[in-house]
Each structure stands twice: as C-alpha cells, then as structure tokens.
Amino acid sequence: MKRIFQKTLFTAILALISQFSILCFAETGKWPDEHGAARFSNPKPQANELSCKIVPVKKQPPIFEVKRSGSLKEPAKIKKTPVEYAAECTFTIKGKKNIGTGFFISPDGYAITCKHVIEDEPNQTAVLNSMEEYPIGVISTSSEYDLALILVTTIRKTPFLKFRDPFTLKPGEKVYAVGSSVGLRSTVTDGSFSGQRKKLPSEQRSIQFSAPVKPGNSGGPLIDKEGKVIGAISWKLISNKGVPVTGIGFAVPSDYILEEYQGYMN
C-alpha cells in the first residue's frame, strides 16, 4: 500500500514538471536577426516585430565656433619711404663689358647715367625692379661732364626722381647711394655729405660723400633723406700714394645734370 502511494506521488510530480517545462520553454526560440546575430525570446517575436528603421545620426554642433566680427577689408597700403621710392626709380644697365645704374627723370622713360657706363657698349638693356628688361637708346652724352641721357623704351609710365640744389647741402648731412652694387640691383648704402671738391685740372666740382659704393654703382643717384637727387655717382678714391683709401666717393653735382638735361625732365 505504501509502495503504491509513493509511485502515484512520483507520477504526479513528473506530470507537474512536464507541464511547467511546456509553459516555460515551449515558446522559447533561437532566431537570427537581420544582421545575422543570434537572438532568444519568449515568445518568439513575429516577423513584423524584427524590422527596424535606420535613422541618420543628426549632425552634432562643433565644439567651438569661430565668429567674424565686422566685414573683411583690403589691407591698407603701406606708404613707401622716400628712399624706397628712389630705389624703385633706378634700374640696372647691363652690357657685355660694363654694368652700371641709371635713374628715371621723367614718366616717359628718360633717364640719367654716367657717360663711361654706356661708352663703347652697344645693345645694352635696362633691368627694372620688376625684372623686366627693355632696350636702351642713347639720346645724348655730355661733352663736359661724365653724364649721358638715355631712353628706356618701356611699355608703361615710369616713376621718376626730383632734384635738389647741391649748394643747400651741409657737411655731415645724411645721404644715400642707390645702385646696382656688384650687380645687386637697388642696393642702398648710407653715409654723409663731406663737401664739394674741385677736380684738377678741369676745375669741375664733384660732391664728396662717405657712403660705400662698388662697381655697378656708377650712374646711380646720390639722394638726400627726402629722396631728391643731389648728384650722379661717378667715381671713388681707392688709394693715395699706394695707401688704400675707403669711404671717399664722388658724384656729378645735380646742377650740372640740370644744366645739360633739364629740358627732358617732367
């Protein structure tokens, strides 16, 4: 009797476990999602529940934002100094044998240089600061001074220099030599006006100055701090009785230039 009761109880327990398993696990399913990943659920979702909608990620605002205040304007043009402008009025004279400097005295391309720069040198060219090259025509050479008037046949108007009376200069006044020193265009060196000297036996005056000059400076302008021409650089003293000399240069005075070529100036 006892054994029959135990058997009946065991059978009832097995039945309850079986029903519980059916309730708990009958609907449990393993299924792949649309990306191929394994998913488990109870109950298994329907097909329409597996669909998803891809929503684009909204553009995130930048971490920081640069704001402009006011409108952008053209940078202001920097006004050139008188010496800088004077350098733009000079050009290199390039030939087969010689190299020198010239400077414009009118907007039409007329320029001054030294006579010894263009003598016996046909087909010379002018190299401007823009690196443009133009042919040079010799208009006149002075019979008295180391001066020449030339024409640079440019395609545009040229900047030009004004002149100053050399007799208004005072010893010690600052001056600038501008020219193609050893071929380096628009080289500017500074020094002082020393005085006006007579070169014997001609009795011609020359302006003495201390600004360093080298081969290639010949024909370039000697100017004051306002950029006005006080002479055309002509020669320098390199020795005296065998002793080397530095810092003594000479220029043809501006009044001689005006005497010869004022009619071509603007």
Enzyme catalytic residues: 116, 146, 218
Phi, psi of 246 (to 5 degrees): -130, 160
Dihedral angle, C-alpha 130, 174, 164, 154, nearest 10 °: -10
- Taking the C-alpha atoms of residue 211 and residue 222, their distance in angstroms, rounded to an integer, is 9
What are the respective helix, strand and coil percentages of the chain, to the nearest 5? Answer: 20, 35, 45
Q: What letter does residue 34 receive in the DSSP assignment?
A: T
CA dihedral 245, 247, 251, 253 (to 10 degrees): -120
**Size of the chain in residues:** 266
Phi-psi region of 167 (alpha: psi -120 to 50; beta: other; left: phi over 0): alpha
Contact 135, 141 (CB under 8 A): no
In the three-class reduction of DSSP (H, G, I as helix; E, B as strand; rest coil), residue 104 is classed as strand
Strand, coil or helix: what is 263? helix
